[in-house]
Amino acid sequence: MSEIELTRLSGHVALTCLLLSLCRIKARAFGLAAALFGAAHALYTVSSPLIEDVTHLYYEPHLRAGASVLFILLILAATSFPRVFRIPEWKLLHRLAYAAGLLAVHHVWLSSHATGAAIIAPAAVVGLALAARACYPRRRAVRTGTLDT
């Protein structure tokens, strides 16, 4: 496989993993996989002939969006183990995954290599995931065996 094919493949896999995590299907596992493949996608992009200079990250809007997604995913990956980091509001922090999904769709939309289906399908999944989150929030588990006094 060429570097460009590896770049595209890693980007597709990262986006798919992110979308699956937004659909709450093994969210932690797919979120970590999205961060891993997103980092691989970034490394392949920087090392491939697609970018002549790293300063393009500043000037190209789709690269800025992709770097923002990677930054969010790496923060979420680092904090996805609440027993290790002991962040009191880590669940609230992990709602940034929806922002990462929107930014990922923006990244694909601005890319010159994306087709219509490659933009519409992820946008629909992110939109449905946001709607499901708004309409059907997860309920907290009720502990049994405790008495309120």
pLDDT of 143 > 60? The answer is no
HSE-CB of 49 using CA atoms within 13 angstroms: 4
Q: Please give the residue that has the higher pLDDT: either 79 or 91.
A: 79
* DSSP H/E element including 92: helix 90-93
**Alpha carbons 135 and 47: distance in angstroms, whole number:** 42
**Alpha carbons 146 and 4: distance in angstroms, whole number:** 58
Q: What angle do CA 25, 31, 36 make, to 5 degrees?
A: 140
Cβ neighbours around 130 below 10 Å, total? 14
pLDDT of residue 83: 77
Q: Where are the domains of the chain?
A: 3-131
- Tell me the pLDDT tens digit for each residue of 17-56: 999 999 988 999 999 999 999 999 999 988 887 788 878 8
pTM above 0.75, yes or no: yes
Q: How confident is the model at residue 16 (pLDDT cuts 50, 70, 90)?
A: very high
Q: How confident is the model at residue 136 (pLDDT cuts 50, 70, 90)?
A: confident
Report, in this order, helix, strand and coil percent for the chain, each rounded to 5. 70, 0, 30
Residue 11: exposed, middle, or buried by beta-carbon count in 10 A (0-12, 13-18, 19+)?
Answer: buried
